[in-house]
Amino acid sequence: MKLSVRGEYALRALIVLGLDYIEGDSVVRIHEISTRQNIPKRFLEQILNDLKSAGVLESKRGIAGGYRLKRAPENITLAEVIRHIEGPLAPVSCVSERFYEKCSCPNEDKCAIRSVMKEVRDAIVKILEDVTVAQMCERVKKLQGTQANPLDYII
Amino acid sequence: MKLSVRGEYALRALIVLGLDYIEGDSVVRIHEISTRQNIPKRFLEQILNDLKSAGVLESKRGIAGGYRLKRAPENITLAEVIRHIEGPLAPVSCVSERFYEKCSCPNEDKCAIRSVMKEVRDAIVKILEDVTVAQMCERVKKLQGTQANPLDYII
DNA sequence: AAAAATGTCGATTGATATAGTAGAGATTAA
DNA sequence: TTAATCTCTACTATATCAATCGACATTTTT
């Protein structure tokens, strides 16, 4: 699958936004996410905007602007996010459900590689479709204890 | 993980060589593998040579030359092959056992993404470390019936 | 109305990886 | 000696990735 840096940044940003998520209109600035997660700001801009167009985030402009989750973190799976940012989860596109592409092998239906890669795909999808942003936030809390860890911030 | 074309070609070639594998000195020409599997010949040359230096294949030069498996197909796992051709199986190198690299997140030990990606890595590795070239050949036979399928060859 | 802090959008860049090609050489069997 | 093979190194074209930039739009505060 090989997650790109872009995809990793997306997930890191979503954790920040997930931890911040409260019903209400609270919003987090790009700059804050960038600083807390050590992500180049201009690059992060693109990514957040992309997640907005995916319907994962919403934004507020102007001086008190920023981003927040558009949906509850329980309803955002890693699979959805990664698919939107990176494309197929499958190791080869000839076994991808949503991004299928014919491959160059002589007979796709009877291809042994394909059958193995389908297993790999299923294993990946099973995990990534199960894990939500909310669960990632849980893990963060469990791993770090309930109070914010100073190391989470760049000084 | 995103298998590259190079990696896929390597596996396709290994299936041909696995099916051909008999104790003895029988050898398959690059040209034949290239034709049967629809792989650019000069590109395949590199790949087979690479698998040779990995200790997976051996070769014979000269007019009756070609390649064959150096070890029994039961002892060659897909994990080994892909790792040699492509590098890490893990989606991010900060969870790779053999190709570990530090990532840019603020605190790697307490990183939630890392913990998910570790699960993904384990799932991938479990499959790919289990499946051998011999098993791939079994699957081919099962999928195609015991006699060679004409579609296997480019006419 | 103006200023300042934010998000928005499209283009550009530099580095690296990928897929493939090319040429000259070494080895072996007939 | 010839012809068919593998071997080795280099090259190239294209795509992708990570990041940067500039100009613009929106909103709040003063």
Task: From first to last of the 155 residues of chain B, give the pLDDT tens digit.
Answer: 799 999 999 999 999 999 999 877 899 999 999 999 999 999 999 999 999 999 999 999 999 999 999 999 999 999 999 999 999 999 999 999 999 999 888 888 899 999 999 999 999 999 999 999 999 999 999 998 755 555 554 43
Close Cβ partners of B135 (under 8 Å, ≥ 6 residues apart): none
Which tokens hold the place of B23?
């104790």
Residue of A76, A118, A120, A152 to mutate when probing chain B, most B C-beta within 10 A: A120
B68 plus B142 within the same structural domain = yes
Q: How large is the average pLDDT for residues A122-144?
A: 96
Residue of B76, B101, B114, B120 to mutate when probing chain A, most A C-beta within 10 A: B120
Specify the DSSP class assigned to residue B150: G
A140 plus A72 within the same structural domain = yes
Which tokens hold the place of A133?
């942003």
- Distance between alpha carbon A151 and the CA centroid of its chain, in Å? 22
A70 plus A52 within the same structural domain = yes
Close Cβ partners of B61 (under 8 Å, ≥ 6 residues apart): none
B19 plus B35 within the same structural domain = yes
| pLDDT surpassing 60 at residue A10 | yes
Closest-CA residue to A6 (of A53, A54, A55, A39): A39
Q: Is A89 exposed, middle or buried (0-12, 13-18, 19+ CB in 10 A)?
A: buried
Which domain covers residue A37, as residue numbers? 1-76+132-155
> What residues of chain B, 27 to 66, have a C-beta less than 8 Å from chain A?
36-39
B58 plus B94 within the same structural domain = no
Instruction: For residue A82, give the H/E element and its range.
Output: helix A78-86
B38 plus B96 within the same structural domain = no
Mind listing the pLDDT tens digit for each residue in A82-114?
A: 999 999 999 999 999 999 999 888 888 999 999
What pLDDT, on the 0 to 100 scale, is given for residue A146?
58
B18 CA to chain A: closest CA distance, Å?
12
Q: CB distance from A136 to chain B under 8 Å?
A: yes
Q: Is A102 exposed, middle or buried (0-12, 13-18, 19+ CB in 10 A)?
A: exposed
Q: How many domains would you assign to chain A?
A: 2
**Residue-wise burial string across B29-66, b where 16 or more C-beta atoms lie within 10 A, e elsewhere:** ebeebbebbebeeeebeebbeebeebebbeeeeeeeeb
Q: CB distance from B105 to chain A under 8 Å?
A: yes
Contact A92, B8 (CB under 8 A): yes
pTM: 0.91
Query: What residue in A sits closest to B115 (Cα-Cα)?
Result: A139
B64 plus B112 within the same structural domain = no
A34 plus A53 within the same structural domain = yes
A63 plus A13 within the same structural domain = yes
B20 plus B88 within the same structural domain = no
How many Cβ atoms are within 10 Å of A143's Cβ, its own excluded? Answer: 15
What pLDDT, on the 0 to 100 scale, is given for residue B154?
42
* Partner residue opposite B107 with nearest CB, options A92, A119, A149: A149
Amino acid symbol at A10: A
Contact A90, A117 (CB under 8 A): yes
In the structure, what pLDDT confidence band is assigned to residue A154 with cuts at 50, 70 and 90?
very low
The CATH number given to whatever domain includes residue A7 is: 1.10.10.10
Amino acid symbol at A111: C
- Dist CA A148 CA A65 (whole Å): 23
Distance, Å, B149 CA → C20 C1': 29
Distances (CA, A) of A45 to A38, A52, A78, A138, B75: 13, 11, 20, 26, 48
A99 plus A38 within the same structural domain = no
Pairing verdict, β A57-60 and A66-69: antiparallel
> Which single residue is written with the structure tokens 């010949």?
B41
B122 plus B143 within the same structural domain = no
Instruction: For residue B66, give the H/E element and its range.
Output: strand B66-69
